[in-house]
């Protein structure tokens, strides 16, 4: 039997996600799959702010190198970790069905929603997007940086370093920790990250395997991600940018896309939404409206602040 090599990060969540995809590939293609664990820069620098070391692309770079130099045949990523542009020679081959895209509130002192958190509550997050939206929603909260894997973040909450943490519902669910969630925060309250809840399967462009892996694609999820990533690409977003976009399906095959970009303090937020059935055109159109509504000025300010 042919055996394929699947590149993955080594965290508990990454291994759970990659293991699930490996089993699906084995069933769909009639092959064996071995996991190839790759330690990324983002993993090695787990206690350093992503914004200061190059952004979420650091969870992807070494895995893409493993594909390009032949150490692995395909890879599985959390789609929200993918930068707008892939390494040349690689392609996104499949997007399986999206899990819960919402953010999750996990709290200590009995608060069951963001609205019910006490004034001054210490909320941990490693996401500029979440931090900005939380500051806009609840300026009375103390938003504190938090990195590490899911288990580490929950441990820091239990140790009393935080009153609440905000994570992704999908990650908690995939680890069997959905019962820890106090609130699955509606997108109307915290707009999700581009690609949140979706796994992306990457392979070398033009190879037969990339075409074969497409059998795992869930078309509505793939179309939604195409719209969100078109928004990301037009805004040239990265980890320093509090940026969000979420596409949800409407009747008849169309999508509604909501997008925003914010200042880090959440004082200024440029938002837009539109509907359509061409994902890439929809993503670009919503991005253009966000830019016209002040997003261009916000992005210029953020990049000036991030410049050395």
What are the catalytic residues?
Answer: 81
Residues 13-25 as b or e (16 or more Cβ within 10 Å = b) = bbbbbbeebbebb
Nearest residue to 128 (alpha-carbon basis) of 294, 248, 269, 292: 269
What is the rounded (10 degree) CA torsion for 125, 96, 283, 85? 70
Kindly report each contact of residues 119-123 with a partner whose C-beta sits within 8 Å and lies 24 or more positions away, as own/partner.
121/163, 121/164, 122/161, 122/162, 122/163, 122/164, 123/162, 123/163, 123/164, 123/165, 123/166
Backbone angles phi, psi at 137, to 5 degrees: -75, -45
Is-contact 59 40, C-beta < 8 A?
yes
């Amino acid at each position: 039997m042919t055996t394929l090599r699947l590149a993955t990060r080594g965290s508990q969540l990454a291994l759970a996600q990659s293991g699930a995809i490996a089993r699906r590939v084995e069933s769909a293609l009639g092959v064996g799959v071995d996991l190839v664990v790759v330690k990324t820069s983002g993993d090695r620098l787990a206690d350093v702010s992503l914004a200061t070391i190059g952004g979420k692309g650091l969870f992807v770079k070494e895995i893409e190198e493993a594909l390009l130099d032949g150490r692995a045949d395909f890879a599985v990523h959390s789609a929200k970790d993918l930068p707008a542009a892939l390494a040349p020679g690689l392609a996104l081959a499949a997007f399986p069905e999206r899990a819960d895209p919402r953010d999750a509130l996990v709290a200590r002192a009995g608060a069951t929603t963001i609205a019910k958190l006490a004034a001054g509550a210490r909320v941990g997050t490693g996401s500029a997007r979440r931090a900005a939206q939380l500051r806009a929603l609840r300026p009375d909260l103390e938003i504190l940086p938090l990195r590490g894997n899911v288990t580490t973040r929950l441990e820091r909450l239990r140790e009393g370093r935080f009153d609440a943490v905000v994570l992704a519902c999908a990650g908690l669910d995939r680890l069997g920790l959905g019962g820890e969630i106090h609130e699955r925060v509606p997108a109307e309250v915290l707009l999700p990250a581009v690609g949140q809840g979706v796994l992306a399967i990457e392979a070398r462009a033009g190879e037969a395997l990339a075409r074969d892996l497409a059998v795992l694609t869930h078309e509505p999820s793939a179309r939604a991600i195409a719209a969100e990533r078109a928004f990301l690409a037009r805004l040239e977003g990265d980890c320093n940018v509090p940026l969000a976009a979420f596409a949800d399906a409407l009747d008849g095959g169309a999508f509604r896309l909501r997008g925003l970009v914010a200042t880090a303090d959440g004082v200024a937020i440029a938002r837009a939404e539109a509907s359509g059935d061409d994902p890439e055109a929809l993503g670009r159109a919503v991005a253009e409206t966000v830019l016209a509504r002040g997003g261009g000025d916000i992005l210029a300010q953020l990049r000036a602040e991030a410049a050395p």
